[in-house]
Amino acid sequence: MRFTPLEIPGAFRVDLEPIADERGFFARWWCEEEFTAHGITFRPVQASTGVSPRAGTVRGLHFQLDPVAEAKFVRCTRGAIWDVVVDLRPDSPTHRCWCSIELRADQGAGVFVPAGCAHGYQTLEADTEVQYMMSARYTPALARGVRFDDPRLGIRWPREVATISERDRTWPLLTD
């Protein structure tokens, strides 16, 4: 696997390094030892899948509060997404900054999202599937979000928003 740091400290693009032969290819997409070698302490305790039938669907921006703040490793396994990481860590040099990365199933890359960051994405193709591994169990009482269209963030989504849940549409705006 190849690890490329993103603009948010602790966030990485993780690319496959496939070994190909006449059968196709084989590649490792998760290895605790390789993550640790890149300074990433990540022990997944839960995995989830999201499927979106419509292109332009937005999911997020989600995070969890302590003591269950979660790191995530996210991969697009069918279709394509425009993935967004928002740094909400008060002591971070990139506090309230965001970065984005396109993840395509045909490329196999993933994104590591550190704890303390919100995460969301927009589907670029119909019938897109995304898989997540998380470092903490989903805890509804501590689940939070930031509005996808918060003017303080100024996220420029690549497509018109075709579908978004009521919950994601009504998360609070960031305050000072």
Q: Which residue is catalytic, options 38, 95, 119, 132?
A: 132
pTM of the model: 0.94
> Is 111 in contact with 10 (CB distance < 8 Å)?
no
Q: What is the DSSP string of 3-55?
A: EEE-SSTT-EEEE---EEETTEEE-----HHHHHHTT------EEEEEEESST
Say whether 132 is catalytic.
yes
Q: Which residue is catalytic, options 38, 62, 95, 138?
A: 62
pLDDT reported for residue 25: 86
Q: What are the structural domains of the chain?
A: 2-169 (2.60.120.10)
State the 10-residue block means of pLDDT for the chain, 176 residues long: 97 93 90 95 96 97 97 98 98 97 96 98 98 96 97 96 97 87
> Is 83 in contact with 104 (CB distance < 8 Å)?
no
pLDDT reported for residue 176: 62
Quick one: tokens of 135?
A: 């470092």
In this structure, the dihedral spanned by the alpha carbons of residues 51, 57, 61 and 67, taken in order and rounded to 10 degrees, is: -20
Q: Enumerate residues 6+ apart whose C-beta is below 8 A from 103.
A: 74, 75, 76, 80, 81, 83, 109, 110, 111, 121, 130
> Is 81 in contact with 103 (CB distance < 8 Å)?
yes
